[in-house]
Every structure is written in structure tokens, then in C-alpha cells.
């Protein structure tokens, strides 16, 4: 007899169907040509029960376990995807800064670019309108050739700025101020007009500067620094005109013989000049404080090691001639 024996818990109809199916199987084995699925000994329902003996049976424990295992496998596959806990700080100027986490410090908010807090930027809290989850897709997998070669760590942004500034003879503080105003240190920033990257290079400008990937921080900062140097030389190192040309274009600066009367351009130039001057004033103040502290330290050291003065010679007795004898 094939299958399990009918139990008392099963209904009479189920027992009858299984009994008919068992009988059909036995006779089919003895006389394979005698019985067909539509014969009197086996109704259509019996034949269906024969083809699917467990069709009407409740799901077994093994089926439930398989379903649970399948659910766990799907969950693990979803969890295996790279998690992106990054956020975007939305600024009033329309740009956003991608960061891993942040720290509010009164009127300033510090945005950390990495989990180990090694790279960050400070932004006025009033300039941040809100935060959003970074829903950008993870970077595509590298090819087998690139995986086989040792991966070189990407240099930090301050190293990129220092290198480009040294190459084109610019002050790194000026380049950082331009980056802050242009993109808020967001290497993936794209303006409504199509400017891209840290220093917001337009595609045509990037092509002229030899920048193939405007989202590459090194290439973008190098191209932007080169362009800024060219503008400074063009306007005899007039920083205000060079910044205005960087924002509105050289044609506009020449058309208006200076900063164009555009609200965006005037605010852009004022912001960079103010930030740059603030940095320079703070650096000069810190240098003076260090110089004063060093001078005080030198004076204290010189006083401590000053040679003792010879003591005044005392008069111990008078000589016979009335002249004091000195000892």
C-alpha cells in the first residue's frame, strides 16, 4: 500500500478517496491495460487524488520550515547590500553636503565626512535648512583588472587642495573658500545650470581645462585652481574681478568693467572675500600671540640664567695712614 494509513481524524470522504486510489494502483499494477482513469473503478476525483495525493492535505512541518528558510535567505541577501547611513545637509544656497554624521556646536554644526572623524567641515547652523537621507546608488563594482591591482587610498581633501595650490601658486585658504562657496565641499554637487564637482566646473570649461571627470576631487580642484590662476593673471591679480569672472564669466566682467550687477555674483564675491579675510586675520592674530609667548619665554629664560653680579667689597679695617684697607 502506497502512502500512509488513513487515521481516525480524517473524514470518511478522505478515507474513501484514498481507499479507491489504493485499489486503483493495485489493479493497475496487475492489469495495466484494464483500467483507465475514467473507468468505473476509479472516478476522476480518485485519479486526481492519485496524481496529487497531498493536494488536499494541510502543509507539513517540512514545508513550513522550507518557507522560513527561504524567508531568511531573502532577508540575508537584502542585509548583505551595502548600507548607506550618510545624510545630506541642505544649505540655503541650494547646495548639499554629504556627511556621515554631525555635531551641533552652538551656532556652528560640524559635518564629518568619514566615520573616524578625520575629515570634517564647520558650517554655520543658520545656513542649514534641513537634512535628508542620501539615496544615491552605491558605486558600481570594479572590474577584475582593477581588483587585481592594489587599490590606492584617495587623498584627503586638504592634501588635494595643498597640492593644487602649490602647483598654481595659490593660497590654500583662498581655494578652500572658493570650494566652500561653490559646492559646500560636496564632490558630487550639481548646480541647476549644470556645473559639477567641488569647484563647480561647467562641462565646456572642464573640457578646456582637460578635466575628464568633474566628480573626481583631484581633477576638479586642479582644473578649478588652474582656471582661478588664469583669471587672476588676466585681471592683474585683482581678486574681486577674478572671483566675479569665476562666477559670472569673463565676458560679464568686461561688459560691466568690474563686478556685474547680479545679486548672486555680488553675494558670491562678498562671501568668499569675507571668509578669506577672516581666516587671514585669525592667522595673523594667532601668529602674534605665538610670537609674544615666545618672546616672554625667551625673557624668562634669560633672566633665570643671568650671571650673578659681583658683591660690593666691604671695608674691614683702616690702614695706618687712614686709608681704608680693602679685602
pLDDT score for 300: 76
User: Cα 142 to chain center, whole Å?
Assistant: 19
Q: Considering only CA atoms, which of 172, 178, 183 is closest in space to residue 215?
A: 183
- Do 123 and 182 fall into the same domain? no
Last residue of a domain, one of 58, 79, 100: 79
Q: What is the CATH number of the domain that holds 119?
A: 2.30.30
- Do 287 and 164 fall into the same domain? yes
- Do 30 and 112 fall into the same domain? no
Examine residue 33 and state whether it is found in any structural domain, yes or no. Answer: yes
Examine residue 163 and state whether it is found in any structural domain, yes or no. Answer: yes
What is the rounded distance in angstroms from the CA atom of residue 89 to the CA atom of residue 111? Answer: 8
Grid cell 562678498 is found at 270
Q: What is the pLDDT along the chain (327 residues), one digit of tens a residue?
A: 444 444 444 454 445 545 555 665 566 566 555 444 444 444 444 444 444 444 444 445 455 555 555 655 555 544 444 334 578 788 776 667 777 888 888 888 988 877 777 777 778 888 888 888 776 544 444 333 333 444 455 678 889 999 999 999 999 999 999 999 999 899 989 988 899 999 999 999 999 999 999 999 999 999 999 999 999 999 999 999 999 999 999 999 999 999 999 999 999 999 999 999 999 999 899 889 888 888 888 777 776 666 555 554 444 444 445 544 444
Three-state SS at 122: strand
Examine residue 312 and state whether it is found in any structural domain, yes or no. Answer: no
pLDDT score for 66: 59
Q: How far is CA 112 from CA 104, 132, 145, 323, in A?
A: 11, 15, 32, 86
Segment (H or E) for 132: strand 128-133
Segment (H or E) for 231: helix 217-234
How many residues appear in the chain? 327
pLDDT score for 173: 94
12-30 helix and 44-51 helix, angle to the nearest 10 degrees: 80
- Do 23 and 125 fall into the same domain? no
pLDDT score for 136: 55
pLDDT score for 101: 85
Examine residue 5 and state whether it is found in any structural domain, yes or no. Answer: no
Examine residue 160 and state whether it is found in any structural domain, yes or no. Answer: yes
pLDDT score for 292: 87
Examine residue 174 and state whether it is found in any structural domain, yes or no. Answer: yes
Examine residue 151 and state whether it is found in any structural domain, yes or no. Answer: no
What is the rounded distance in angstroms from the CA atom of residue 177 to the CA atom of residue 18? Answer: 85
Residue 100 appears among annotated catalytic residues: no
- Do 178 and 52 fall into the same domain? no
Of the candidates 182, 230, 264, 286, the residue annotated as catalytic is 182
Q: What angle do CA 211, 241, 205 make, to 5 degrees?
A: 15
pLDDT score for 203: 92
- Domain hosting 56: range is 12-79
Amino acid at each position: 500500500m502506497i502512502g500512509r494509513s488513513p487515521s481516525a481524524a480524517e473524514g470518511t470522504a478522505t478515507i474513501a478517496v484514498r481507499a479507491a486510489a489504493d485499489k486503483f494502483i493495485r489493479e493497475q499494477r496487475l492489469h495495466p491495460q484494464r483500467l483507465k482513469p475514467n473507468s468505473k473503478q476509479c472516478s476522476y476525483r480518485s485519479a486526481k487524488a492519485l496524481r496529487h495525493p497531498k493536494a488536499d492535505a494541510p502543509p507539513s512541518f517540512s514545508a513550513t520550515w522550507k518557507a522560513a528558510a527561504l524567508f531568511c535567505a531573502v532577508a540575508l541577501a537584502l542585509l548583505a547590500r551595502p548600507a548607506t547611513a550618510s545624510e545630506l545637509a541642505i544649505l540655503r544656497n541650494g547646495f548639499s553636503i554629504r556627511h556621515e554624521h554631525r555635531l551641533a556646536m552652538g551656532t556652528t554644526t560640524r559635518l564629518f565626512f568619514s566615520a573616524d572623524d578625520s575629515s570634517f567641515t564647520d558650517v554655520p547652523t543658520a545656513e542649514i535648512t534641513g537634512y535628508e537621507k542620501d539615496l544615491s546608488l552605491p558605486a558600481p563594482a570594479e572590474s577584475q583588472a582593477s581588483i587585481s591591482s592594489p587599490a590606492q587610498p584617495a587623498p584627503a581633501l586638504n592634501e588635494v587642495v595643498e597640492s593644487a595650490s602649490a602647483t598654481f601658486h595659490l593660497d590654500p585658504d583662498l581655494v578652500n573658500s572658493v570650494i566652500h562657496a561653490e559646492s559646500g565641499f560636496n564632490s558630487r554637487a550639481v548646480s541647476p545650470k549644470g556645473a559639477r564637482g567641488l569647484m563647480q566646473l561647467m562641462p565646456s570649461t572642464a573640457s578646456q581645462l582637460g578635466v575628464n571627470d568633474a566628480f573626481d576631487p583631484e581633477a576638479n580642484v586642479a582644473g578649478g585652481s588652474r582656471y582661478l590662476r588664469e583669471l587672476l593673471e588676466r585681471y592683474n591679480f585683482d581678486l574681486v574681478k577674478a572671483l566675479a569672472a569665476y562666477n559670472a564669466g569673463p565676458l560679464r566682467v568686461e561688459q560691466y568693467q568690474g563686478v556685474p550687477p547680479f545679486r548672486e555674483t555680488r553675494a558670491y564675491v562678498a562671501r568668499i572675500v569675507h571668509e578669506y579675510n577672516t581666516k587671514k586675520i585669525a592667522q595673523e592674530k594667532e601668529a602674534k600671540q605665538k610670537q609674544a609667548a615666545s618672546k616672554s619665554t625667551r625673557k624668562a629664560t634669560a633672566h633665570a640664567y643671568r650671571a650673578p653680579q659681583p658683591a660690593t667689597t666691604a671695608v674691614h679695617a683702616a690702614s695706618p695712614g687712614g686709608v681704608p684697607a680693602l679685602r
